Amino acid sequence: MIRICLLACLGLLFSSFWLFAQPQPDAASPAPTDPFEGEFQKYLVNRQAAGNSDQFLVKNAPHRFGEWKTGAENGSRIAQYFYGLCLQGGHSTAKDPDRAKIYLQKAADAGLPQAFTVLGLVEAPGVSYVQGFFRFRNDQKSYERFCKAADMGDTAAIYFSALYQLYGFGCTKNEETAFKRIVAAANLGESNAMLLLGTLYGNGVYAKQDFNRANDWIRKAAELGNGNAMFSMCMSYENGYGVPKDSKEAAKWCLKAAELGNIEAAGYLGWMYEVGEGLPVDVKLAWKWHFRAAEAGHVEAMYAVARSYDEGNGVQRDGKEAVNWCQKAARLGDTDAIAVLGAWHQTGRNDLPKDFKYARILLETAAARGSGFAMCCLGNLYCIGQGVERSDREAHKWYLKAAQANYSPIYYYLSQTYFFARGIEKNYQESFRWCKKSVEADNPNAMMFLGYLYENGLGTEKDDAAAVKWYQAAAEKNESMAMLYLGKRYFYGNGVKKDVQASIKWLEKSSDLKNPYSMISLADYHEQGIGGLNDEKLAERLRRDAIKLLKQRIGDEDDDAMVTLGLLYWQGRGVEQNVNEAFALFRKAAKLGNQYALDYLIWLGLDS
């Protein structure tokens, strides 16, 4: 979620920085004989309302640039101003800041206050423009230039001189006078001043906090066409600042701002389409707005674009482009991008070379910045022993840090580490606690495991009704093991009324999801004629397919699969009876800590 603070809002106000100036009614007027006078007046109205000249130049420069250039060369100060803006911003011509200054200076020398203000911004050493934000330094010359342009009647200059005075840049800090100047500029129709005034009221900075007055001023600026104010209205509705929370209204203002070229709004709109916040989920539109913002330098959007390319979400999957955009975001300091790059170097994803040392550096950097995902990945390095000495205890330490950093995907795994004593002493209470947190994060696996804990009274009191409740919840989210447990519950009538048909329904659903244990149970039903099932060929196929799946799982060190397949070999069901193979599988599972395997070996007298 993007959050707006006062300085960020100020940065947004200064987008298209050379395009702010407009006159007062009593300002020095262009010579009446200037052929560009009428066009200039339209420009001033548009710029004052929108807070920048982008809309005007984008619309008019393509067909007016030639005449502006000719007029500038023939001495029209208005044409010199327009031509200078085009050169400065690269509208219908290549950017040429040095040549832009020449023509803007000519317009200023001819008495056009707007040109003087623009020069004060682009020439003054006290101002730099970095990625859509102004960085002011303490510079007296800048302040003096703004004051001079303000005296000539330029409301943008009044606005900038007030900012310098508000923070004491190049002058004695005077908050009271600065605030009065901002109010004056707002009352004279300067939409950026309206937005700033609303921001000051909203944050309670230099004025008593008043959300109603804040929204009144911001709304005025937004309704005039100021894109930054529109985005501020979006955030007001999104967070309920002075207005009722309304994600649909927030989305409406965000779309308006994004369509006017507001970079922050474009990035946020991409997120709204991605998650369905106030808008229907639309991955293609999410991609469109994220990409537009990323190309304009929005760092969070760059990472979003990287994810889209990586996942093929809204755009065709392209690993090379995923890496390209992720590296761009990481170089600009995005913590999530740094963490993901570390993970990709850990796994070799997107054709990146596996480099555990470099992965660890990236992950530790991101973890130090609070990334729970990076902490989880560091846990994986120690769990597997990639570039470090394998250590379950060290892995658990990082997993716990990730959980404490509210990285919800690790809650369920942490519950398992406490349950199976991986790198930590067995603790059913802690397993139950983290399992519940994972359930709160809507994890179907955790719902299934919570049912299991309730069923067996582990870490909590035994509760058949609660077990059924969570098995049902997980099953409805397509968790196949929960379907299996629910099917057994219905068969035996534990916690629910006995219902063989309901048992069959859940076992069939689970089997369709390729759960080998459900397939074996369903095969038993057919062989035993339970619930009217009696298809021996289907039973044979189910058991054969289940055995293939179990063998695959054994390759992944699945100890439960080892025990189940061992029993099938012991009984000769679906496979040729092979007691030695059964013993071998029990022993292998026992070494992995499987209690059932240990019990079977003890029962068979083979525990030594």
- The three-class DSSP label of residue 130 is strand
Mean pLDDT on 155-182: 88
* pLDDT tens figures, 539-586: 999 999 999 999 999 988 888 999 999 999 998 888 899 989 999 999
What does the alpha-carbon distance between residue 279 and residue 125 come to, in Å, rounded to a whole number? Answer: 44
Q: What is the mean pLDDT of residues 33-50?
A: 85
d(C-alpha 234, C-alpha 246), whole Å: 9
pLDDT digits (tens, 9 = 90+) for 293-322: 999 999 999 999 999 999 999 999 999 999
User: 163: pLDDT confidence band, cut at 50, 70 and 90?
Assistant: confident
> Under 8 Å CB-to-CB from 391, ≥6 apart: which residues?
382, 385, 423
Lowest mean pLDDT among 80-89, 199-208, 521-530: 199-208
Hey, what are 247's tokens?
A: 């994600």
pLDDT of residue 149: 87
The DSSP-derived string for 423-475 is: SS---HHHHHHHHHHHHHTT-HHHHHHHHHHHHHTSSS---HHHHHHHHHHHH
In the 8-state DSSP scheme, what is residue 574? S
> What element of type H or E holds 134?
strand 133-136
For 476-535, the pLDDT digits (tens) are: 999 999 999 999 999 999 889 999 999 999 999 999 999 999 999 999 999 999 999 999
pLDDT class for 32, splitting at 50, 70, 90?
low
In contact, 365 and 334? CB cutoff 8 Å: no
54-73 helix and 77-89 helix, angle to the nearest 10 degrees: 120
Q: Which residue has the higher pLDDT, 372 or 590?
A: 372
Whether residue 243 has pLDDT greater than 70: yes
- CB-side neighbour CA atoms (13 Å) of 41: 10
Helix (H, G, I), strand (E, B) or coil at 402: helix
pLDDT of residue 133: 38
Reported as a pLDDT band with limits 50, 70 and 90, residue 13 is: very low
Identify which of 454, 359, 367 has the alpha carbon closest to the alpha carbon of residue 402.
367
Q: Which residue has the tokens 């690993």?
A: 319
Given a cut of 70, is residue 435 above it in pLDDT? yes
DSSP 592: T
Nearest to 142 by CA among 176, 166, 118: 118
Residue 173 has pLDDT above 50, yes or no: yes
CA-CA distance, 548 to 561, in Å (whole number)?
Answer: 11
Inter-residue contact 155 to 48 (CB < 8 Å): yes
Q: What are phi and psi of 130, to 5 degrees?
A: -130, 115
User: Which amino acid is present at 91?
Assistant: H
Distance CA 431, CA 416 (A): 6
Phi-psi map region of 394: left, alpha, beta (phi>0 left; psi -120 to 50 alpha): alpha
Question: What does the DSSP 8-state code read for residue 572?
Answer: T
| pLDDT: which is higher, 241 or 461 | 461
Q: Is the pLDDT of residue 24 over 80?
A: no
Distance from C-alpha of 179 to C-alpha of 488, rounded to nearest angstrom: 72
Question: What is the C-alpha separation between 91 and 217, in angstroms, rounded?
Answer: 31
The C-alpha atoms of residue 596 and residue 256 are separated, in whole angstroms, by: 62
Confidence of residue 126 (pLDDT cuts 50, 70, 90): very low
Helix (H) or strand (E) run with residue 607 in it: none
pLDDT at position 3, please? 37
Instruction: Please state the pTM of the whole predicted model.
Output: 0.76
- Cβ atoms < 10 Å from Cβ of 371: 23
Rounded to 5°, angle at Cα 213 from 211 and 219: 95
Residue 13, amino acid: L
Predicted pLDDT at 515: 95
28-65 burial string, b = 16+ CB within 10 Å, else e? Answer: eebeeebebeebbeebbebbbbbbbbbbbbeebbeebb
**How far is 443 from 436, CA to CA, in rounded Å?**
10
**Residues 6+ positions from 457 with CB-CB distance below 8 Å:** 463
CA distance 449 to 423: 20
Examine the pLDDT at 285 and tell me if it is beyond 90.
Answer: yes
Residue type for 442, please?
D
Q: How far is CA 42 from the centre of its chain?
A: 40
Q: What percent of the chain has pLDDT over 70?
A: 92
Per-residue CA distances from 322 to 112, 261, 339, 516 (Å): 48, 24, 14, 36
pLDDT score of 44? 84
How confident is the model at residue 27, as a pLDDT?
43
Q: How confident is the model at residue 120 (pLDDT cuts 50, 70, 90)?
A: confident
